[in-house]
Each structure stands twice: as structure tokens, then as C-alpha cells.
Amino acid sequence: MRLQSDIDALAAIEEDAWAMLKRIGIPDDKQKLEVVICLRQIIELATYRQAIDLFTDHSG
């Protein structure tokens, strides 16, 4: 099921990127869309990494 949750997450990221484009008024330009999607993915990965760190024991 991991693959399906990854696919769902990517679809949600793309949907969020489209919503941001409309909210901030950037034209539906393919290159600008890719930049927004990339930024959103970076945010999602950082958030995911922070969540992992919260639940990982670093005391070794």
C-alpha cells in the first residue's frame, strides 16, 4: 500500500500547486507550474523529514 499512498500524496501536491497558481494569479504556464510543484514538494519533504525526526530515537 505504500506505493498507493505515495501516488495519492503526489496527486495532492499537484492539486495544491494548481490551487496556489490560481490563488496567487500566476498564469497557467507550464514552466511556472513546474516551479510551484517543485517548491511544494520541497515543503512536503521537509515536513515529512521533521515528522520522522520526532519519532526517531537518536540516543543510539
List pLDDT tens digits, range 6-46: 778 877 887 887 787 778 776 667 887 788 788 888 888 87
Crossing angle (nearest 10°) for helices 2-24 and 30-55: 130
Name residues whose C-beta falls within 8 Å of residue 37's C-beta, 6 or more positions apart in sequence: 13, 14, 17
Whether residue 42 lies inside any domain: the answer is yes
| Inside any domain, residue 38 | yes
> Residue 39 sits in which domain range?
26-54
11 part of a folded domain: no
Question: Taking Cα atoms as reference points, which of 12, 13, 2 lies closest to residue 38?
Answer: 13
Domains identified in the chain, total number: 1
The answer to whether position 7 is within a domain reads no
Q: Is residue 33 part of a domain?
A: yes
Whether pTM > 0.75 for this model: the answer is no
